[in-house]
């Protein structure tokens, strides 16, 4: 399904955007007051709730003391026990329950019949299992804190755009605020901005599935990011445009300059660095420590010149332990055994798919069975990337 063919999801989105929620008494009591059930007329009972959070919800004393201040004064454990029982009936374990309450302790004051049961029931009606609901709620606080219709509209919108419930669940697990982003103020305007800048529906679909945070920022921030990418010489028509947007969205100007200075230390010019970045934007996603180890190995151990790597930055995007070291080790071992390997550049054999490399340099040399063991043994003093 392309984004241009959005019906019935467009109509669903417009309903979500034009819906003006009316706050119900139960919800107002939870989120705008300090209590939603009978309050004691005497001294504050914060110690009672602090003890409760420690004994029943797994909080440590400091966390509990801070959270209990949001719960007001209460008479008994009845209400929070009722809420905990409801959550556990859906399969929430202690860790998930603590995660929910750490974000919003006032969940313990929610009206089960008027707020929680209808919301969880509606999610089940959309096809979410009890296990799905526990993961969805524990990873996205908006499911509990936002109005029911608002939550349902967002879930249905994203399911329609992404094409499956499983993709939505993955995104929600990676970003706990995912369902809190405004469709009206952020998502839809950003989709239109990308379209206006010539991003095709195919690329938009890729962004929505794999880099959704790009369209979850403020529209003016996205516009500035696009201008920044173009200022670095990456054209909108480039196959690297979307990846460059994603990388620059995740790093600061300071970090960008730090990477530039790092490569200058190996003799690259600024033009070398920018050209390498345009070819392989992901190199900026690696920490300087990680890049330092790769450069030291490539320059000091393999004898590869930094000037060779500048126009071939894809090598720096490869895993040191899983690709660079094992493959170089195999080639050196073959040469030490007198195997003649003609004019094979590092960028070539490092870029081979795994199957092709094994067939060409390991499996074919049956007289050297130890090559397989050599290839599979990772350096014990290094951490895999």
Residue 31: band (very low, low, confident or very high) from pLDDT cuts 50, 70, 90: very low
Domain boundary residue, one of 219, 248, 277: 248
Higher-scoring residue by pLDDT: 58, 11 = 58
Average pLDDT rounded to a whole number, residues 68-93? 87
Whether residue 28 is found in the same domain as residue 65: yes
Whether residue 291 is found in the same domain as residue 235: no
Whether residue 338 is found in the same domain as residue 256: no
Q: Model's pTM, two decimal places?
A: 0.68
Q: Is residue 177 part of a domain?
A: no
CA 242 to chain centre: 16
Whether residue 127 is found in the same domain as residue 239: no
Q: Is residue 155 part of a domain?
A: no
Whether residue 60 is found in the same domain as residue 136: yes
The DSSP letter of residue 314 is G
Q: What is the pLDDT of residue 265?
A: 96
Whether residue 277 is found in the same domain as residue 369: no
Q: Is residue 70 part of a domain?
A: yes
Q: Is residue 166 part of a domain?
A: no
Q: Is residue 174 part of a domain?
A: no
Q: What is the pLDDT of residue 27?
A: 37
Average pLDDT rounded to a whole number, residues 317-329? 94
Q: What is the pLDDT of residue 378?
A: 52
Whether residue 27 is found in the same domain as residue 134: yes
Per the structure, the complete domain to which residue 283 belongs is given by 251-315
Whole-Å CA distances, 190 to 102, 187, 196, 296, 315? 31, 5, 10, 42, 34
**CATH at 55:** 1.25.70.10
Per the structure, the count of domains in the chain is: 4
Average pLDDT rounded to a whole number, residues 137-158? 90
Q: What is the pLDDT of residue 194?
A: 92
Distant-in-sequence, close-in-space partners of 78: CB < 8 Å, separation ≥ 6: none
Give the highest mean pLDDT range of 27-41, 196-210, 220-234: 220-234
| Closest C-alpha among 203, 142, 207 to residue 172 | 142
Quote the percentage of the chain above a pLDDT of 70: 85
Q: Is residue 134 part of a domain?
A: yes
Higher-scoring residue by pLDDT: 198, 73 = 198
Whether residue 130 is found in the same domain as residue 57: yes
pLDDT per position as a tens digit, 149-167: 999 999 998 888 888 888 8
221 pLDDT above the threshold of 50: yes
């Amino acid at each position: 399904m392309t984004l241009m063919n959005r019906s019935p999801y467009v109509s669903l989105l417009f309903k979500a955007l034009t819906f003006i929620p009316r706050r119900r008494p139960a919800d107002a009591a939870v989120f705008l007051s300090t209590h939603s059930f009978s309050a004691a007329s005497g001294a504050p009972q914060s110690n009672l709730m602090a003890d409760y959070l420690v004994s029943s919800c797994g909080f440590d004393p400091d966390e509990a003391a801070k959270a209990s201040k949001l719960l007001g004064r209460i008479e008994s454990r009845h209400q929070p026990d009722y809420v905990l029982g409801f959550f556990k009936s859906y399969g929430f374990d202690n860790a998930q329950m603590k995660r929910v309450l750490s974000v919003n302790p006032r969940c313990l004051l929610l009206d089960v019949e008027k707020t929680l049961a209808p919301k969880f029931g509606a999610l089940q009606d959309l096809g979410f299992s009890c296990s799905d609901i526990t993961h969805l709620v524990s990873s996205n606080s908006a499911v509990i804190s936002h109005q029911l219709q608002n939550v349902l509209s967002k879930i249905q919108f994203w399911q329609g755009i992404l094409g499956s419930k499983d993709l939505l669940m993955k995104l929600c697990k990676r970003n706990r605020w995912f369902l809190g982003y405004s469709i009206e103020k952020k998502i839809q305007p950003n989709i239109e901005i990308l379209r206006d800048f010539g991003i095709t529906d195919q690329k938009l679909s890729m962004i929505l599935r794999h880099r959704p945070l790009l369209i979850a920022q403020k529209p003016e921030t996205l516009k500035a990011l696009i201008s920044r990418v173009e200022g670095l010489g990456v054209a909108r028509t480039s196959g690297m445009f979307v990846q460059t947007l994603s990388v620059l969205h995740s790093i600061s100007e300071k970090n960008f300059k730090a990477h530039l200075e790092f490569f200058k230390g190996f003799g690259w010019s600024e033009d070398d660095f920018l050209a390498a970045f345009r070819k392989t934007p992901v190199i900026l996603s690696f920490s300087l420590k990680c890049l330092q180890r790769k450069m030291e190995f490539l320059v000091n151990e393999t004898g590869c010149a930094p000037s060779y790597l500048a126009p071939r930055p894809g090598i720096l995007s490869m895993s040191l332990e899983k690709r660079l070291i094992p493959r170089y080790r195999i080639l050196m071992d073959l040469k030490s055994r007198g195997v003649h390997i003609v004019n094979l550049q590092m960028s070539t054999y490092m870029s081979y798919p795994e199957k092709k490399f094994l067939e060409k340099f390991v499996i074919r040399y049956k007289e050297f069975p130890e090559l397989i063991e050599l290839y599979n043994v990772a350096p014990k003093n290094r951490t895999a990337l």
